[in-house]
Structure 1
Amino acid sequence: MDNMLWNRLSPEAQAEVDGLIAAGRNIQAIAVMRERLGLPRPELRDCIDLLAWRHGARNE
C-alpha cells in the first residue's frame, strides 16, 4: 500500500518513526511525523491515520 504522507518522509525519518512505533512510543512517532513532514504541516488526524497504517504494514 502506498501512503503519500509516508513517502514525503526521508528514509531516515521513516526509520525513526518505525523505531518509535516498535518501542510503543506512538505520541513521539506522531511528533516526529509532524516535525519532519514540513509544510504544509499535516493535520493530527492524518498523522494518527498514518500511525495506524504503519502498525498494519509492520505486522504484515
Structure 2
Amino acid sequence: MGFNAGVENVPWDRLSVEVRSEVDRLVPAGRNVRAIAVMRDRAGLPMPSLHECVALLDQRFGVLRQGPTHA
C-alpha cells in the first residue's frame, strides 16, 4: 500500500459541502495553514491528524491544479 492508501478521503468525506468549498478556495490561494485548520476544526471527532490533513491538502492541490474532469 502506498503512502495515501488509508488516508486519501478520511477527513474529506467527513466535511460538509460548504467546508469542502472553503478548503478548495484556500488551497490555490496558498493559505495552507488555514486550510488545515479548517479541516481539523470542522471534521468532527475524532479530529484528523496533522498528517492526514497534510496528505489531503496535497491531494486537493493536485486535483485543483488538474481542473475539471470530463467523464
Unaligned runs of 5+ in 2: 1-7, 67-71
Give 1:8 deviation, angstroms: 1.1
Q: Distance in 2 between matches of 1:22 and 1:58?
A: 8
- Higher-Rg member (1/2): 2
> What are the superposed Cα offsets for residues 14-53 of structure 1, whole Å, 9 maximum, x if unpaired?
0000111121100000000000001000110000000000
Counterpart residue identity of residue 41, structure 2: E
Map 1:1-60 onto structure 2 (within 5 A). Answer: 3-60=9-66
Aligned residues: 59
Unaligned runs of 5+ in 1: none
Name whichever structure is richer in helix by fraction. 1
Find runs of 4+ consecutive structure 1 residues off by over 4 angstroms: none
Q: CA RMSD in A?
A: 1.1
TM-score (norm 2): 0.77
- Aligned residue for 1:22, secondary structure, equals coil
Counterpart residue identity of residue 35, structure 2: A
- Aligned residue for 1:32, secondary structure, equals helix
* % same residue: 53
- Aligned residue for 1:49, secondary structure, equals helix
